[in-house]
C-alpha cells in the first residue's frame, strides 16, 4: 500500500504467543505489503510475541522504510512519519498552474523520493504561500527559509540544496481556514520556526487579542501552544531582539480564517501570481469549529503556492474494500471488513493523521488483532502457504529479480560514504536505476 499504510494477508499469517502452538502446529507466515513505519511496527510486535511467526515484507522501491526515509524534513530525522500515496486536491481554479505544488510532491523532492526527483520547483519569486497550518506546512516553510549552512548538515538531496541555494524566496505565509485555536502544528515545531536564524515571525496582534481568557480551560498542549503564539504576537521584544529581527533578511507569518478560492494566473495564463482567498468566520468552538465564508475576499501576491491540506490513500485492488470518502480500508481494529485474514495498519487504516508514536500504537493494535485471531484458530496456517518461496518463483518466471535486504545494505553503505565525503549524514541516491546498477542488477 506504499508508505501511507500497510495491509497484509493473514492466511498463514501471523501468530499468537509461542506457548499457544503445539510443536506439531504449522508455523504461521505473515506477508506485509509496505515497508514504512506501519509495516515494520506491526511485524515487530508480532515477532516479539510469537517466536514461530515468519514475516516477509514487500516494498515497491529498491529501498526500505517508506516515509521514515522520505518523510517530513531532513533536519527532523526523529519525526519522519508522514505517508499515504496521494494528496488531497484543492478543487479550485488555477491549481494546475506552474508554481503550484502539493506538499507531498515538494517534501518528496527535497527528501529524494524517486518519483519526485524531477520536480524542479521554481523558487525565483520572493513570496511563497503555504495552504495549511500543520507540521508539514511548518516543515516546508522552515526548509524554504533555513540558512544553507544548517541544511548542509542534513541528508537533504544535493539537487534540492543547489536549488535552495539559488532561491529568491524570502517571505512565507502560512494560510489556514480556521483560527489560532485550531492550528494543527505542535509547539516544538512552532518554537523552532520562531527561533529560526535570520528569520523574523510576523503575527498580527489583532488575531490574538483576547485569546488569553479563551485558552484557560483548554488541554495543556493547546494552551501552551496558543500562549507561545500570543507572546510572539503581543509582547514587545527587547532592544537586542528588535535589532536582530530588523536585520533578518527573511520573514514568515500566519494568516487565519482564509480559504483558497482560486490561484490567480500571470498575464500569459501560465504561472501563479497570487491566490484569491475567501475570508471566513467560525461557527462553533475548539477543534469542531467550522469555517464559513463571509462573502469577503482578498488577494495575496505570491509566485509559489504549496498545498498542505492533507494526504489520502488510494484504492489498492478491487478485491480489497475501500471507503473513497474517508480514504481508508473499512476495518475493525485492523481487521478488514468482509475479508477474513486480511488486515491493515497506518494511514490506510485510520486516515492521514498523527505522527510516529501514533503509527506505532496503531500498528501494535492491528498486530494484536492478528495474534488474537491466530489464538482463536480463525486463520489458515496450512503448510501449503509458502510465503516468499511461492512469490519468488512467480517473480523468477517473470524475469523479476527482487532487491534483498543485503542489497539494500550495499545501497545504504554507498549513500553513507557519499555523504561522509560531503560532510553530511548521507547523500541519497534518487534514481532507482542507479541503485540497481550499484547492486549489480
Nearest to 188 by CA among 30, 302, 78, 309: 78
CA distance 354 to 79: 11
CA distance 293 to 280: 4
- According to the model, what pLDDT value does residue 381 have? 81
Nearest to 301 by CA among 270, 253, 250, 265: 265
CB 6 within 8 A of CB 59: no
Torsion of CA 273, 265, 114, 176, to 10 degrees: 60
- Sign for the pseudo-dihedral over CA of 433, 436, 440, 441: negative
CA distance 424 to 411: 16
- According to the model, what pLDDT value does residue 148 have? 94
Buried b (16+ CB within 10 A) or exposed e, 296-315: eeeebebbbbbbbbbbbbee
Residue-level pLDDT, tens digit, the chain, 441 residues: 333 455 454 433 333 333 344 445 578 888 999 888 899 999 999 999 998 888 999 998 999 887 677 765 666 554 447 344 445 577 899 999 999 999 989 999 999 999 999 999 999 999 999 999 998 899 999 999 999 999 999 989 999 999 999 999 999 999 999 999 999 999 999 999 999 999 999 999 999 988 888 888 889 999 999 999 999 998 877 777 777 777 889 999 999 999 999 999 999 999 999 999 999 999 988 888 999 999 999 999 999 999 987 666 777 788 889 888 888 899 999 999 999 899 999 888 988 766 778 888 999 999 999 999 998 888 888 767 778 888 999 999 999 999 999 999 999 999 999 999 988 889 999 999 999 999 998
- According to the model, what pLDDT value does residue 287 have? 83
CA distance 141 to 201: 12
SS3 207: helix
- State whether CATH 3.40.50.620 applies to domain 89-309: no
Burial status of residue 206 (CB atoms within 10 A of its CB: 0-12, 13-18, 19 or more): exposed
Buried b (16+ CB within 10 A) or exposed e, 403-441: beeebbeebeebbeeebeeeebebbbbbebeebeebbee
What would you measure as the largest C-alpha separation in the chain, in angstroms? Answer: 78
Nearest to 130 by CA among 269, 293, 258, 297: 258
Pairing of strands 272-283, 258-265: antiparallel
CA distance 197 to 130: 20
Torsion of CA 32, 36, 39, 42, to 10 degrees: 170
- According to the model, what pLDDT value does residue 69 have? 75
Q: What radius of gyration, in Å, describes the C-alpha atoms of the chain?
A: 24
- State whether CATH 3.30.70.60 applies to domain 5-67+316-402: no
CB 401 within 8 A of CB 131: no
CA distance 339 to 337: 6
CA angle in degrees (0–180, nearest 5) for 55-396-319: 60
- According to the model, what pLDDT value does residue 367 have? 95
- According to the model, what pLDDT value does residue 87 have? 54
- According to the model, what pLDDT value does residue 3 have? 36
List the domain boundaries for the chain: 5-67+316-402, 89-309
Buried b (16+ CB within 10 A) or exposed e, 352-381: bebbbeebbebbbbbbbbbbebbeeeebbb
- According to the model, what pLDDT value does residue 311 have? 65
- According to the model, what pLDDT value does residue 372 have? 94
Cell of 56: 516477509
Cβ contacts of residue 11 below 8 Å, gap of 6+?
A: 341, 379, 380, 381, 385
- According to the model, what pLDDT value does residue 22 have? 41
Amino acid at each position: 500500500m506504499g508508505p501511507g499504510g500497510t495491509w497484509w494477508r493473514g492466511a498463514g499469517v501471523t501468530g499468537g504467543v509461542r506457548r499457544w502452538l503445539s510443536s506439531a502446529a504449522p508455523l504461521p507466515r505473515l506477508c506485509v505489503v509496505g515497508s514504512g513505519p506501519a509495516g515494520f511496527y506491526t511485524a515487530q510486535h508480532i515477532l516479539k510475541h510469537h517466536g514461530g511467526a515468519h514475516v516477509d515484507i514487500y516494498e515497491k522501491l529498491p529501498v526500505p522504510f517508506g516515509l521514515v526515509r522520505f518523510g517530513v524534513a531532513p533536519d527532523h530525522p526523529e519525526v519522519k512519519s508522514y505517508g499515504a500515496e496521494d494528496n488531497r486536491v484543492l478543487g479550485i481554479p488555477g491549481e494546475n498552474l506552474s508554481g503550484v505544488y502539493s506538499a507531498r510532491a515538494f517534501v518528496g523532492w527535497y527528501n529524494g523520493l524517486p518519483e519526485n526527483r524531477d520536480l524542479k520547483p521554481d523558487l525565483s519569486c520572493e513570496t511563497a504561500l503555504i495552504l495549511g497550518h500543520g507540521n508539514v506546512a511548518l516543515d516546508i516553510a522552515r526548509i524554504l527559509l533555513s540558512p544553507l549552512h544548517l541544511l548542509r548538515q542534513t541528508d537533504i538531496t544535493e539537487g534540492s540544496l543547489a536549488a535552495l541555494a539559488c532561491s529568491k524566496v524570502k517571505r512565507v505565509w502560512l494560510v489556514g481556514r480556521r483560527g489560532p485555536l485550531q492550528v494543527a502544528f505542535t509547539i516544538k515545531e512552532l518554537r523552532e520556526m520562531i527561533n529560526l536564524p535570520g528569520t523574523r515571525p510576523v503575527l498580527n496582534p489583532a488575531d490574538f487579542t483576547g485569546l488569553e481568557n479563551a485558552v484557560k480551560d483548554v488541554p495543556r498542549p493547546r494552551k501552551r501552544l496558543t500562549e507561545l503564539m500570543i507572546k510572539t504576537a503581543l509582547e514587545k521584544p527587547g532592544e537586542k531582539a528588535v535589532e536582530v529581527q530588523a536585520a533578518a533578511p527573511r520573514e514568515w507569518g500566519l494568516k487565519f480564517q482564509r480559504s483558497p478560492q482560486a490561484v490567480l494566473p500571470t498575464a500569459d495564463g501560465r504561472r501563479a501570481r497570487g491566490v484569491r482567498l475567501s475570508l471566513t468566520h467560525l461557527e462553533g468552538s475548539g477543534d469542531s469549529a467550522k469555517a464559513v465564508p463571509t462573502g469577503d475576499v482578498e488577494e495575496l501576491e505570491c509566485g509559489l503556492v504549496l498545498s498542505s491540506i492533507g494526504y489520502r490513500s488510494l484504492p489498492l485492488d478491487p478485491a480489497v474494500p475501500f471507503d473513497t470518502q474517508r480514504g481508508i480500508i473499512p476495518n475493525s481494529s485492523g481487521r478488514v471488513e468482509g475479508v477474513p485474514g486480511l488486515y491493515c495498519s497506518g494511514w490506510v487504516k485510520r486516515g492521514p493523521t498523527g505522527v510516529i508514536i501514533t503509527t506505532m500504537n496503531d500498528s501494535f493494535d492491528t498486530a494484536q488483532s492478528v495474534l488474537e485471531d491466530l489464538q482463536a484458530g480463525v486463520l489458515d496456517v496450512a503448510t501449503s502457504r509458502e510465503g516468499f518461496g511461492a512469490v519468488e518463483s512467480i517473480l523468477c518466471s517473470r524475469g523479476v529479480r527482487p532487491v534483498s535486504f543485503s542489497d539494500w545494505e550495499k545501497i545504504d553503505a554507498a549513500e553513507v560514504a557519499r555523504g561522509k565525503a560531503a560532510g553530511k549524514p548521507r547523500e541519497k541516491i534518487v534514481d532507482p536505476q542507479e541503485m540497481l546498477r550499484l547492486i549489480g542488477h
